[in-house]
Structure 1
Amino acid sequence: MGELYNHDGSFSPRADELKGTRIAMQGFMAPHLKVDSDFFILSNTPVETCPFCATEGEWIDSIVFVRMRTRQEMAAPGTLILVQGTLEIGPATDPTTGFVSKVRLTDAVFQRAGA
C-alpha cells in the first residue's frame, strides 16, 4: 500500500500507472461494522478504529476501502488475506455507506494469503 503514496501523502506515479487496472494487495481485514456486508477495510496492519469516520485530510495511508464483487464470509481478525480488485484512487464518498476514502479496490474478491 505504501507504494501508492509519495512522502508528502500525494499519489505516486505507480498509483497513477495502476489506476483502473486489476491488482492484488495483501493485508488484514479490519473488524467489521456489519456482519452482512459487501465491503470491508484492508490494512497492512490490524486496525481497531473506524478510519472512515475521519475526513479526507485525516486519511490513513495504510488502508484501502474494498467493495466486493459479491458478499463473502468475513475473515477472522489477524488473518492475512490476498485481495484482487480494480484500483481506484482519489477522494470519494461511498454512496451506500457515506464513508470517505482516497483508495479503493472495487469488484473485489479475497482469499486467505497462501491458500
Structure 2
Amino acid sequence: DIHDSELFDNLKRAIELYASLGIKVQITELDVSMFAFNDDRRDIVAPTREMLDIQARVYKKLFEIFRSYKDVITSVTFWGISDKHTWKDNFPVKNRKDWPLLFDEEQKPKPAFFSMINF
C-alpha cells in the first residue's frame, strides 16, 4: 500500500545508504498514483476528495523526508507536469485514468501541490 509508513522508512534507509557512500541523491520521475499497485478498479472517473487528501498527505510526507536530507538530495524531478498527460493512465491497469501529479487536467494546482509548498 502506497500509504504504508514502511515505504517511507525504506526511502529514508535508501537515502542514508547512498549518503553513507558519499553519493549525492537525485529524486527522479516522481509521481504518486491514486491507486495501490494491485488495485485494478476502472470505475473511478475523477478523483474523490478523499483520494486527493491522501495523495496530498503522501506528497507532504515525501517532501518532509526530502527536506530532512537536503544536504544529500540535489534535485527532485517529477514524471510530468499535469494529470492531462501521464504514463500512469494505462499502467498498471489498461484504460484507466490516474491523477498522479501536482496539477490537474486543467493545469490547476491540486491539494498535493499546496501540501508540498506550504511547510
Question: Which has the larger strand fraction?
Answer: 1
Shorter-chain TM band? under 0.3
Question: Which has the larger helix fraction?
Answer: 2
Q: TM-score, normalised by structure 2?
A: 0.25
Q: TM-score, normalised by structure 1?
A: 0.25
